[in-house]
Amino acid sequence: MDSIPAHVPVRSKVKVTAIPGDGIGPEVMQATQQVLAAAGAQVEWEEALAGAEAFRKGIAAGAPQETLDSIARNGVALKGPLETPVGYGEKSANVTLRKVFEMYGNVRPVRELPGIRTPFSGRGIDFVVVRENVEDVYAGIEHMQTPGVAQCLKIITEAGCERIVRLAAAVAEAEGRKKVTVSTKANIMKLTEGMLKRVGEQVLKDYPSLTHEHMIVDNCAHQMVIRPEQFDVTVMTNMNGDILSDLAAGLVGGLGVAPSANLGDEAAMFEAVHGSAPQIAGKGIANPTALLLSSLMMLRHIGDFATARRIEHALYVTLEEGKDLTGDIARDGEGVPTAAFVDRIIANLGRESLNVPDREYRPIALKKWPQITWYRAASTRELVGVDVFVESERDPRAISITLQAAAEGSAFDLTMIGSRGAQVWPDVGGHTFLVDHFRARFMFREPPKGNGIAEITDLLQRIGRQHNWMHIEKLQRFDGADAYSKA
């Protein structure tokens, strides 16, 4: 082991909002703050509330205004886990914080840790998952279509894809990485997932030093397990990234040691991936590694690379030597309290691990996105039809007869009826299971003279006399290309 010179503070303290959170949150927060203080990190903490206590006080968003103000003022937060109410009305405080500050990028390093044995130890796993953090099905726009059929909208924007791909490229450049893998389900969801693929292909041309590849996300899950060392930086839409980043964390020791950053234009929030672990809360045995590693991402974010490196090596030496580890990672199963683990890390400050290759970190060059509504013009737009979603217990043939009758004298022809994406009329000989939810596709016989609204309203009135319809989708063509999926 070599020794690292103590960090020489070069500037004044940076104010950071500290949200201890719920369950084991206050314990791991205190442990992290202790290590940072001992290492001489130039941080001044401003403690703020969020999570269960906020909900108990009747704050429906899970975070009071003072907390939001503190993050807005400081622009940087370190956050403990927050309990999420499951299955009842209140929002997730985590989602509130990410959305209020539009922290669109979730960055999750996946790096083999010395002394943490997993089935993948020794493979040299070292990559970063960049997950889009605010769009996709996590927009939370859900509707019951019929009493037995639910729908959730998957919203993907070109702007959202561009900024997350550029963030992935910036992370790659900041860490001296060489490859960005855009991972999507574009083969099935050609418009939504396909948008990330297309934008990735376009945007990554601006980064000639980076190799770009596309990988279908299910294969990506497989490849992460089969050959995880091939990855460098991966970028995904929200739900795919949510699932695969947890899978990736499992490769290198699990959620208890997985750090993350939530990055946006106005604020950055660093947090452990794990939750509040209520079963072990208050016992003084929680492992603070994940929050400590998150705080190192935070130190690098505020430019204190030297302190981050010093703490990282002290942690690695501690893990390598295997003395005084918490129960979840202790090799002999005999864990020590959080406080003893922290003392050991502090005692190891200044020692250097030779087993972990040093990475040259530079600041992540985050582009600021303009505060305007993003608008992409199309040179031509055509309205060619409308999908009407109807509720019916009848069979597709019977529905087609009533819908064709409804369309008679309107501006439309009924061309197709689908059930959950599969065409069921005209009959194509499939064996589709039927529920009470159908998509009826009506195409304009001739292009509408005006905006088509009068024709659509007329059609809906006709359909409404016989069927309960839930919603409609206009079928459009932008720049001459169909802007809707086929059955």
Distances (CA, A) of 269 to 105, 237, 389: 10, 19, 41
Q: Is 262 among the residues that bind ligand NAP (CB under 6 A)?
A: no
**Cβ at position 154, least distance to ligand NAP in Å:** 22
The two most distant CA atoms of the chain are separated, in Å, by 86
**Cβ at position 317, least distance to ligand NAP in Å:** 20
Among 200, 256, 259, 418, binds ligand NAP (CB under 6 A): 256
Omega of the bond prior to 426 within 30 degrees of 0, cis?
A: yes
**Cβ at position 334, least distance to ligand NAP in Å:** 15
Amino acid at 223: Q
Among 17, 34, 94, 353, binds ligand NAP (CB under 6 A): 94
CA distance 99 to 101: 5
Amino acid at 281: A
Segment 274-293, which members bind ligand NAP (CB under 6 A)? Answer: 274-280, 286-287, 290
Q: Is 160 among the residues that bind ligand NAP (CB under 6 A)?
A: no
Among all chains, which residue has been given the structure tokens 């991402």? Answer: 297
| Closer by beta carbon to ligand NAP, 335 or else 350 | 335
| Closer by beta carbon to ligand NAP, 191 or else 339 | 339
Q: How many CB atoms lie within 10 A of CB 298?
A: 27
| Closer by beta carbon to ligand NAP, 279 or else 373 | 279
Torsion on CA atoms 306, 308, 312, 314, rounded to nearest 10? 60
CA distance 282 to 297: 26
**Cβ at position 417, least distance to ligand NAP in Å:** 41
Nearest in space to 361 (alpha carbons), one of 128, 192, 147: 128
Interface with ligand NAP: number of residues (CB under 6 A): 21
Segment 444-483, which members bind ligand NAP (CB under 6 A)? Answer: none
Q: Is 81 among the residues that bind ligand NAP (CB under 6 A)?
A: yes
- From 268-276, 350-358, 380-388, 442-450, give the range in contact with ligand NAP by CB under 6 A: 268-276
| Closer by beta carbon to ligand NAP, 193 or else 271 | 271
**Cβ at position 331, least distance to ligand NAP in Å:** 15
**Cβ at position 96, least distance to ligand NAP in Å:** 11
**Cβ at position 81, least distance to ligand NAP in Å:** 4
**Cβ at position 299, least distance to ligand NAP in Å:** 20
Q: Is 271 among the residues that bind ligand NAP (CB under 6 A)?
A: yes
Q: Is 27 among the residues that bind ligand NAP (CB under 6 A)?
A: no
Segment 387-426, which members bind ligand NAP (CB under 6 A)? Answer: none
- From 97-105, 272-280, 420-428, 442-450, give the range in contact with ligand NAP by CB under 6 A: 272-280
Q: Is 83 among the residues that bind ligand NAP (CB under 6 A)?
A: yes
**Cβ at position 156, least distance to ligand NAP in Å:** 23
**Cβ at position 79, least distance to ligand NAP in Å:** 7
**Cβ at position 242, least distance to ligand NAP in Å:** 11
Q: Is 245 among the residues that bind ligand NAP (CB under 6 A)?
A: no
User: Residue number with the shortest CB distance to ligand NAP?
Assistant: 275
Q: Is 252 among the residues that bind ligand NAP (CB under 6 A)?
A: no
State the Cα angle at 143 between 157 and 372, rounded to 5°: 30
Q: Is 198 among the residues that bind ligand NAP (CB under 6 A)?
A: no
Distances (CA, A) of 110 to 94, 247, 330, 471: 21, 10, 20, 43
| Closer by beta carbon to ligand NAP, 50 or else 128 | 50
Query: Given the rule CB under 6 A, which residues bind ligand NAP?
Result: 24, 28, 81-84, 94, 255-256, 271, 274-280, 286-287, 290, 328
